Structure 1
């Protein structure tokens, strides 16, 4: 097929996926598979190979991230029932004080708490942010809502083991340790600078409490420690915070150490084994289980893990079919086509990656889906341009943050749980996360000069 035909049919497939999700209300899993199937059939891949590519793409991505997602979500489920997040926020308030708490909470959510499923993390942390808002000035709600939105969305994309980060790394074949280190370089300044910029304008007349705030809607009964049964779980013993978060920190340190050892060409079989992402997160999960069993009892740990497994199912399915679409795009030869045209022009490739992901997010309204789709589109482009794939992954992630809006579940949860009007949530969530999307490109472009 001609280059124009490949480009046109890929565009039709992506637009078709958007229409199926947004207009026809198809489940994203079904829409992504239909888009992948269409692309395979019209680009001459053939019926048999199309079906095989869909299956193998799904299997390949599951082989890379399936256990990682499951282990991360299970750790988060146990930490949730231990009340770890509430205790951490109280400690941050005591250490940093009310004025700095928006920055401390946002950065902590974006880095340390990414093992917790996003909606669950939001439901737990929003009441805490709401309580802290009352300790600030008349702009407390605006400041805490902005910090929460930026921390949640940036973390899931840039920080391992956030689901978006795991998926981007897998789709672009980036070693997880490398993504972890580069993601931290991006997420820390992004969260702090974006929160400061947005807050600057909100507290200088843009935020109007009389129209931007509303009465609170009570959070669901499972927002407290213990979750789904609506009954707070009694913690038998209260471990220190370092004990609660120690296992997941050990996991991330192991992964990062493995990446550094690889860079330094230090080959040690024992280190290679324990620093492999699956083994490192398994160590973290086992450690978290021991902490949970000591504090809650074995029965409660089993219940928490059952809830975690239930939560991880939809995530795994969505990421798997994202792998199917990426495999089909690669088989269709889009990488060679884009590489040829990009090389012939003077366009800054990483900016174009950002724009593609941003447009997809505005159309679809889901950070995860737009990141998956844009990464699948752009994965074949990295080798054609000689770019380090981690840069393409990070730029796609940054673009997918642009304009979180009315089709996002996060938007409506932030609106109701923090007592904002829709207009107010557009200011704190939509604008705040969009600022983060733009700000993130500065450290990403800086990294491109090194990698």
Structure 2
């Protein structure tokens, strides 16, 4: 049996083990990923000691790079949720946009909030506002829900400091500022085009109220914005401060400026720390004595995210240790030098993981670890390989994804309605992100 055949067989077997563990045995994705890592390592002949050592190393290496920023980002997002800043940002943007662009402003608010706040929380915060906007504009609710879902899904997938895009820069070894800048621009492109097309579909009768809605929207009155909530400008500071700090390094490098102070301030951990401290300061009035409890709750919530992210790093490290990338490169001679084949290959692998496992985090992190070995074999900048992996990771979310049920249940949709909203939103982000990746791949081939 050739090395290529052996590694491929065991990779398929390990993925099946992960699937069975998560979907049939109902085990945590963390445990499933560890089982898959063990099967991959043992099957490919790494041995007992090397396999378990690689699992630990892969877990530790990834979290050493992004663990603290992820944890700080969760605290920042929770504080913005609790201090009323998230609602202030959303309502201000919609209010300033006017009726003509209110729906796009609502989606842009979702885009901004989903950068530090996880998709589920962003959606929960904005659903009451989406309902009010729908009533004001006399537009069916799917318009507003679609805008929120597409904007939030895109930012959560493509813009750090959410775990997947944050991990991309570390895994592929490029400047985090590039991931922020390119990810944000691509996301805005995908959001605007995706939202425009989604609205056109709704205009054409794509939505069927009888089959796509349950008729029961289980949503209480939104809690009032707490007294002492930050103003719009103050609420933006924790969001923008980390981005500005990280981009300082990118701009400085482009201008040939080297400074220890600049390097310190622009470090992702320090940048996120400064943003989190800013969130603390603007929360004192509205949260007061509950600050410690809110932060502790956020730390507890971040635990599962860190474990899944780290376990994805473990699986990727074991795959890398088997020489998978080198074997693929030898077997498919031009895959490493063909940027177009490379981004399509990355996207395809991530889609398989996404559809099978449901978790966009697992799909993206695992695929990026697999594809990292190819980054140096092509003229294409690794940020586009990362974007292809991330696009595959958001591509087709369905009934095995928790986000699907958050959108479906809170919007009063049937499963069919959920597929027409959440699933389609992810597909739009994936398709339009891949258009950018394909164009970049074609340009780099010239």
Report the TM-score range of the alignment, normalised by the length of the smaller protein: over 0.9
Match of 2:132 in 1: 131
Q: What do you get for the CA RMSD once the two structures are aligned?
A: 2.1
**Pairs within 5 Å for 1:63-74:** 63-74=64-75
Question: What are the residue-to-residue correspondences of 1:238-249 with 2, within 5 Å?
Answer: 238-249=229-240
8 Å CA contact retained: 2:21, 2:27:
yes
Q: Which runs of 5+ in 1 are unaligned?
A: 225-231
Structure 1 residue 130: Cα displacement: 2.3
Partner of 1:162: 162
Q: Which runs of 5+ in 2 are unaligned?
A: none
- After superposing on structure 2, the runs of 4+ consecutive aligned residues of structure 1 that deviate more than 4 Å are none
Q: In structure 2, how many angstroms separate the alpha carbons of the residues matched to 1:296 and 1:407?
A: 36
Instruction: After TM superposition, give the deviation of residue 65 of structure 1 in Å.
Output: 0.8
Residue-by-residue CA offset, 1:297-321 (whole Å, 9 max, x unaligned): 2x22112101111110100000011
In structure 2, the residue matched to 1:331 is: 321
Query: Is the CA contact (8 Å cut-off) linking 1:171 and 1:376 kept in structure 2?
Result: yes
Alpha-carbon spacing, 1:26–1:375, altered in 2? closer, same or farther (3 Å): same
Matches within 5 A, 1:418-433: 418-433=411-426
Normalising by structure 2, report the TM-score: 0.93
Distance in 2 (alpha carbons) for counterparts of 1:233 and 1:92: 16
Is residue 316 from structure 1 mapped to residue 306 from structure 2 by the alignment? yes
Q: Distance in 2 between matches of 1:263 and 1:447?
A: 21
Match of residue 186 from structure 2 = 186
Per-residue CA distance 1:270-298 (angstroms, 9 max, x = gap): 1111011111111111111111114432x
SS in 2 for 1:445: helix
Structure 1 contact 61–323 (Cα < 8 Å) conserved = yes
- SS of alignment partner, residue 137 of structure 2: coil
Give runs of aligned pairs for residues 40-439 of structure 1, distance below 5 A. Answer: 40-138=41-139, 140-219=140-219, 224=223, 234-235=226-227, 237-297=228-288, 299-344=289-334, 348-439=341-432
- Aligned counterparts of 2:152 and 2:312: Cα–Cα separation in 1: 22
- 1:152, 1:343 → 2: CA distance? 39
Distance 2:404 2:220 in 1: 16
Aligned residue in 2 for 1:227: none
- Taking structure 1 as reference, are residues 386 and 403 closer, same or farther at Cα in structure 2, changes over 3 Å only? same
Look up the SS of the partner of 1:354 in the other structure.
helix
Question: CA–CA distance in 1 between the matches of 2:191 and 2:247?
Answer: 21
Q: Deviations over 1:75-94 (max 9, x none)?
A: 11111111112212211221
Q: 1:247 to 1:431 in 2, by over 3 A?
A: closer
Give the secondary structure class of the aligned counterpart of 1:406.
Answer: coil
For the residues of structure 1 that align with 2:252 and 2:284, how far apart are their CA atoms? 34
Which stretch shows the higher mean deviation, 172-181 or 440-449?
440-449
Q: TM-score, normalised by structure 1?
A: 0.92
1:28-63 deviations in Å (ceiling 9; x for gaps): 000001111111111111111111111111111111
Counterparts in 2 of 1:113 and 1:154: CA distance versus 1, 3 Å: closer
How many residues get paired? Answer: 440
Measure the CA separation in 2 of the matches of 1:439 and 1:109: 18
Q: Quote the offset at 1:217 in angstroms.
A: 4.1
Q: Distance in 2 between matches of 1:29 and 1:304?
A: 26
